[in-house]
């Protein structure tokens, strides 16, 4: 299930779309930390952690693609690059929602520990 955190096109370092996504994650984490009901707060924190993992996976996929030579059967076009970015976004969101890498789970646990320490 997509998290809806990633922008329509792949983020890159210094990209305003990435900065907006990072700001959304920070906002969601802050909202989760200051929310009134615990269940809603935990759900928002979990979503923010999954969003962070999705962005991280997307950056990893982009860097991996840079290492592959661009000399295939078909020439690279703007359409194929756009399709590839959309595919990478969806793949990153799907992988993050499965929680197999463990980044979101570890981040969630650390933020929960910080919250417990504040009380």
pLDDT in tens, 50-108: 999 999 999 999 999 888 877 777 777 888 889 999 999 999 999 998 888 888 899 99
Most trustworthy range by pLDDT among 11-15, 25-29, 87-91: 87-91
Q: What tokens were used for 83?
A: 């399709």
What Å distances lie between residue 69 and 11, 66, 76, 81, 118, CA to CA? 21, 8, 11, 14, 50
Measured between alpha carbons, how far apart are the two ends of the chain, in Å? 33
Helices and strands per DSSP (H, E), number in the chain: 4, 0
Domain boundaries, the chain: 16-118
């Amino acid at each position: 299930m997509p998290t809806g955190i990633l922008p329509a096109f792949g983020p890159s370092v210094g990209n305003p779309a990435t900065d907006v996504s990072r700001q959304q994650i920070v906002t969601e984490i802050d909202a989760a930390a200051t929310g009134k009901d615990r269940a809603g707060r935990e759900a928002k924190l979990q979503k923010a952690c999954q969003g962070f993992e999705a962005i991280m996976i997307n950056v990893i996929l982009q860097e991996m693609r840079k290492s592959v030579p661009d000399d295939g059967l078909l020439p690279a076009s703007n359409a194929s690059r756009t399709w590839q970015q959309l595919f990478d976004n969806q793949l990153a969101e799907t992988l993050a929602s499965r929680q197999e890498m463990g980044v979101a789970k570890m981040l969630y646990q650390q933020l929960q520990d910080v919250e417990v320490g504040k009380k």
